[in-house]
Homo-oligomer: A and B are copies of this chain.
């Protein structure tokens, strides 16, 4: 089987991916079944196994967050162009009737909404926001390791199958603690992920990156990220970030009143974009499931090596 270049996702590749379980939606979303769905879950189990390096506690969070909570950490002011809101028709009968008097959905699939109920919820922008929010106000007496997975929403100008989606799945491992604890976590996490990449034979480059701020040149947080990179992305094929390690300093600890040793806690996270892993793995190892690496086994090997090394 010849290897496609990483930055193509043309019709042939889409047809081939369809045969192993991808159903690509024009709205920029992926449905999965069969071999690709099993690979997706295998990826996630591997990441959860990596999270067990720190005995990270699993949490499951809802689809959205209150706008007010997100604004405690300036999310809507920094990323208004990417925010995705939960909207419902205002429930008065006259309003619903006005909706029903229209085409409901026009020929282009657009819905005309007369009056909306108050919009108060933002669909998950990144899985880890829920964790800081859920632990708001806690005073930690040691480092806190957590892991969670969620569907994340973005506004994109264009969509590419398994590469650029309007909603996608993110697994994260997070550490909250002192600066030393979180930096130590991030160093170990990057080592673990690097070992994992080696074992599954996936070439990536780590590149410094910045978050996609609105009007970045005017945003002090963007300027700070340029001066002192806090985000590094494991980049496959030159341009596809499939994992990232992120250092937030005390941004979330201060915003959510989460403290450690009497000071706002620092936080760091490792994030994996699951659909992009499907792209990278099938690009590197082909479309035959028999040629795919066993990701859970690789994660187990990482654990044995790192635990052995630190024991």
Q: Which residues of A are in contact with B by a Cβ distance under 8 Å?
A: 23, 25-27, 29-34, 37, 40, 57-64, 66-68, 70-71, 76-77, 80-81, 83-89, 91, 93, 96, 99-100, 104-105, 108-111, 113, 116-123, 130, 134, 151, 153, 155, 157, 167, 214-215
| Contact A68–B134 (Cβ < 8 Å) | no
**Quick one: which of A89, A105, A122, A167 has the most chain B CB within 10 A?**
A105
Closest-by-CB residue of B relative to A66 is: B109
| Contact A63–B96 (Cβ < 8 Å) | no
Besides the known contacts A27-B64, A108-B120, 8 further A-B residue pairs in the complex with CB atoms under 8 A apart: A25-B66, A29-B63, A33-B58, A67-B110, A76-B105, A81-B96, A84-B86, A85-B86
Complex CA distance for A241 and B196, rounded to whole angstroms: 45
Tell me which residues across on chain B come within 8 A of A85, comparing CB atoms.
Answer: 86-88, 111, 113
Tell me which residues across on chain B come within 8 A of A77, comparing CB atoms.
Answer: 100, 104
Complex CA distance for A109 and B205, rounded to whole angstroms: 41
Tell me which residues across on chain B come within 8 A of A118, comparing CB atoms.
Answer: 108, 110
Closest-by-CB residue of B relative to A152 is: B63
Q: A60-B40, A62-B25, A62-B29 are in contact. Are A81 and B89 (CB under 8 A)?
A: yes
| Contact B60–A33 (Cβ < 8 Å) | yes
| Contact A68–B33 (Cβ < 8 Å) | no
Tell me which residues across on chain B come within 8 A of A80, comparing CB atoms.
Answer: 89, 96, 99-100, 104
| Contact A110–B105 (Cβ < 8 Å) | no
Q: Would you call the interface of chain A mostly helix, strand, loop, or mixed?
A: mixed
The smallest C-beta distance from A30 to any residue of chain B, in angstroms, reads 7
**Quick one: which of A40, A62, A84, A153 has the most chain B CB within 10 A?**
A62
Closest-by-CB residue of B relative to A36 is: B60
25 A-B residue pairs with Cβ-Cβ distance under 8 Å, sorted by A, are A26-B66, A31-B59, A33-B57, A37-B59, A62-B151, A62-B167, A63-B123, A63-B167, A64-B167, A66-B109, A67-B110, A67-B111, A68-B105, A71-B105, A76-B105, A80-B100, A84-B87, A85-B86, A85-B87, A85-B88, A91-B157, A93-B215, A110-B119, A111-B119, A113-B119
| Contact B96–A155 (Cβ < 8 Å) | no
Tell me which residues across on chain B come within 8 A of A109, comparing CB atoms.
Answer: 66-68, 120
| Contact A37–B58 (Cβ < 8 Å) | yes
Closest-by-CB residue of B relative to A88 is: B155
The smallest C-beta distance from A284 to any residue of chain B, in angstroms, reads 22
Identify which of B31, B60, B71, B108 contacts A60 (C-beta below 8 A).
B31
| Contact B89–A87 (Cβ < 8 Å) | no
The smallest C-beta distance from A152 to any residue of chain B, in angstroms, reads 10
Complex CA distance for A120 and B87, rounded to whole angstroms: 12
Complex CA distance for A84 and B117, rounded to whole angstroms: 10
| Contact A105–B67 (Cβ < 8 Å) | yes
| Contact B76–A134 (Cβ < 8 Å) | no
Complex CA distance for A57 and B33, rounded to whole angstroms: 8
